[in-house]
Structure 1
Amino acid sequence: MKLAIFTLVQHSIKNDTYYGYAPYVREMNLWTKYVDAVTVVGIQKPNNEVDAIDCAYTSPNLKFVAVPNFSLLGIVAVLKTLIVLPVVFFKCVSAMRKADHLHLRCPSNIGLVACFAQIFFPSKQKSTKYAGNWDPNSNQPWTYRLQQAILRNTFLTRNMKVLVYGEWPGETKNIHPFISATYTDAEKVPFSKKDYTAPLVFVFAGMLVPGKRPLLTIQFIAELNRRGIAARLEMFGDGPLRPELEAYVAAQQLEYCIVMHGNQDKSVVRNALLTAHFNILLSKSEGWPKAVAEGMFYGCIPVTTSVSCVAWMVGEESRGIIVEPELEVAVSHFIHVFKGSNLDVMAHKALDWSQQYTFDRLEMDIAGVLG
């Protein structure tokens, strides 16, 4: 089988090996295990550097087709896009013509072009991994809405399995729940009770960017302490907001309850989750809230906002706590649930749910999609 992949992920080449963003490439290596040849239509990094977050494709028969990067934000960007769009479309069509199975990665600009291109191949077997927020009631860019509309349309989009995060009622028959994974079956641990009378430990793992609301997370922990609930935040990750956050912690004298670790190895974060009581993610938007699932895998109760498929993940608060992104309201609701719930039961349910979705199961699901 010949597989064609259409992605916005930027790639670099070193010693005849292609590299890309590690979480994406690790998943794509599962897809490529079941095919004979792979064509990746994507963007090459301008500097061709292999970054620390990158890893290599493992397919021995991989061809990379570079397409120009483009944007639809702003008049100048749109004018440039009109020039390169025919090139991108032609390269997508050419790759699709030679492939047996078409795999789109959406939402993305290249995914949008591929959504239109695949219409001309109704008999080809296809799949799309929609790695964004599929919630039909969420506020999203019009380009995302357009991709969703094309993918839902079973007349324009034939022989397609659209893999989305979560279960959404009333969807067309080609929409299928599909969950990403970080850990393997071998990394499962048995449930272990934690002492919720001790000072509470929260883990934040993610980029320090406005969309993750790291400042609100810090303020949340500080407010818990102010209200008499001893709590400490172990903060993993880096990003443009780090200097501002460090300055805030120092100015507010919060070093006693906020520890900023920066980027750390996966094993370090795992060890922190094993002993923490809660993992916290107060995002504005998510596709698959990976940090939530990872914390649940080790029995951490998630404290999170209701974005994307989070409500489904936490079983409408049977295995997690959903808060509003407003400090006083969020803290008050957390304290209400914390004092009125059986936290051991909640944590056990979180672990049981997340440990269903391992890398091993993901590989089986992918094999099923490829048929």
Structure 2
Amino acid sequence: MKLGIISDCIHYKTPDGRIGTENHILLRQLQALSLFYSNTMICCPFETYNTSKVISTYSSQNIQFISVPAVGGNTIKAKLRLAATIRKWWQAYKKIDKFSDVVYQRFPNNLNIPAFFYFNLKRKNLFATYTGTWNAYPSEPSTYRFQRWLLNKYFKGPVWVYSNQIKSGDRIRAGFSPSYSAAEWEEETLQVEKRIARIEKEGLKVFKLITVGTLISYKNQAGIIRSCALLKIKGVLFSLTIVGDGPMRLELESLVKELGLQQEVSLVGKQNSLALRELYRQHDFVVQAPFSEGFGKVPMEGFFHGAIPVINNISMASFMTGNEERGFLFDASDEKNLADTLVKIKSRIEQLPQTIRKGRAFAKEQTLEQWAKEYYETVTDYFGKS
């Protein structure tokens, strides 16, 4: 059986002909899914590669690509620009339709809005993931609401969404977004046990915090930095490593200087997957404070490495932390709350080894193999084998 994929993820072609993307996790997920199909064709936008791009490249031999123009943005103006590219997109949809037995669409994005109508008219076997926040929120773009409505009411196949309010077995299904394989979970076992032994013997003299994500306003790295300033006033020793790049980098660097946190806070830019894994191993807590989130990959990556998530209590946060059995929650709307939460954790150091072990057990159920197998078996059962 052949698989077609429609994704707005930007891809690049290196000078030596390899195809890659800066979305390391999506690449790994698509490769894991492609193992269940004889051939896979990915329809996605391509941009010119340069050495500043921190990309991972595909190793699967059964994946090919169709390049389409990228048109981003949630505004009405951005949607009007679609007119110039619809024809090229339509041609790509035809190729995917002719090539594939089933099509996987990843929402929300511009590329998949006309694709929804094209493939429904063709009565194609379809499945989808909605990677944004499934439940409505105040600042949600209208086009996101529209796409959720289409998927909920008119999509003719299984849809995985990030919500803990979905019943198992329904067409709209609760999903997760894995980063690592079962083998990588095993690789971390010795390191995690050493981490636990260190905490049991020495406690935590310095709280080593890490936050990962694009440096944009809704990810709220600024709120974490301001909370760290309060933590310093409280006399808690800490370090904060900020991983990622984006339009707010200069603003965040200025904020660090303004608050006198140059010794405690480091912005290290975007990292490849191997470097990021090493950073997780060096830190005790993963701190994430987004104002909106679908499925937070970073807390899950923390679980794998034994770094305890401390995350804003939105969306699936309570589910991910097991109501604080395997992580901690705070209210990002109150910058004092993160500092207070970390102080509270400091008084409960003896509980952290068990917290880490519970997080590791949860992560073991959230691997790339399990994700791909669930998708394939669900889709096959839904449509039957072709």
Under a length normalisation based on structure 2, what TM-score does the superposition of the two structures give? 0.83
In structure 2, relative to structure 1, the CA distance for the partners of 1:53 and 1:161 (3 Å cut) is farther
Q: 1:234 to 1:94 in 2, by over 3 A?
A: closer
| Alpha-carbon distance in 1 for matches of 2:8, 2:227 | 35
1:26 maps to 2:23: no
Contact (CA 8 Å) 2:21, 2:55: kept in 1 or not?
yes
Bigger helix share: 2
- CA distance in 1: counterparts of 2:296 and 2:57, whole angstroms: 24
Q: Where do residues 33-72 of structure 1 align in structure 2 (5 Å cutoff)? A: 33-45=35-47, 47=48, 49=50, 52-71=53-72
Instruction: Note the 1:132-147 alignment, pairs <5 A.
Output: 132-136=132-136, 139-147=139-147
Q: 2:180 — aligned with what?
A: 183
- The aligned residue for residue 240 of structure 1 is 247
Gaps of 5+ in 2: 381-386
- Asked whether the equivalents of residues 152 and 172 of structure 1 are also in contact (C-alpha less than 8 Å), the reply is no
Amino acid at match of 2:89: V
Against the structure 1 CA distance between its residues 367 and 188, is the aligned structure 2 distance closer, same or farther, given a 3 Å change threshold? farther
> Are residue 218 (structure 1) and residue 216 (structure 2) matched?
no
Q: Find the residue that maps to 1:148 and give its secondary structure.
A: helix
Give the Å deviation of 1:73. 4.5
- Name 1:79's counterpart in structure 2: 80
The residue that corresponds to 2:356 in the other structure is: 347
Mapping of residues 46-195 of structure 1, within 5 Å: 47=48, 49=50, 52-71=53-72, 73-74=74-75, 76-89=77-90, 91-93=92-94, 95-122=96-123, 124-136=124-136, 139-153=139-153, 156-158=154-156, 160-169=157-166, 173-186=170-183, 187-189=187-189, 190-191=192-193, 192-193=196-197, 194=199, 195=202
CA distance in 2: counterparts of 1:24 and 1:59, whole angstroms: 14
Letter in 2 for 1:176: R
What letter is aligned with 2:31?
N
Summarize deviations over 1:206-259 as a string: whole Å, max 9, x none. 222222212221222221121122222133333333333333323433233223
Q: Is the 8 A contact 2:54 2:270 kept in 1?
A: no
- Per the alignment, residue 323 of structure 1 pairs with 330
Per-residue CA shift, 1:51-81, capped at 9, x if unaligned?
A: 6333333444544333333356455434332
Hey, what's the Cα distance between the residues in 2 that align with 1:72 and 1:236?
24
Size of the alignment, in residue pairs?
366
In structure 1, the gaps of 5 or more residues are none
Letter in 2 for 1:54: I
SS at match of 1:8: coil
Residue 6 of structure 1 corresponds to which residue in structure 2? Answer: 6
Q: How far 1:132 sits from its partner (Å)?
A: 1.8
TM-score, with normalisation over the residues of structure 1? 0.86
Distance 1:204 1:75, change over 3 A: closer
Moved more, 252-261 or 75-84: 75-84
In the TM superposition, what is the alpha-carbon distance from 1:182 to its structure 2 partner? 2.1
CA distance in structure 2 between the aligned counterparts of 1:289 and 1:208, rounded to whole angstroms: 15
CA change 1:255–1:26 in 2 (3 A) is same
Quick one: higher RCO (CA 8 Å, sep 6+), 1 or 2? 2
C-alpha distance in structure 2 between counterparts of 1:299 and 1:20, whole Å? 27
Paired residues of 1:204 and 1:233 also in contact (CA < 8 A): yes
Cα contact 2:32–2:368 (8 A) shared by 1 = no
Q: Which amino acid in 1 is paired with 2:338?
A: A
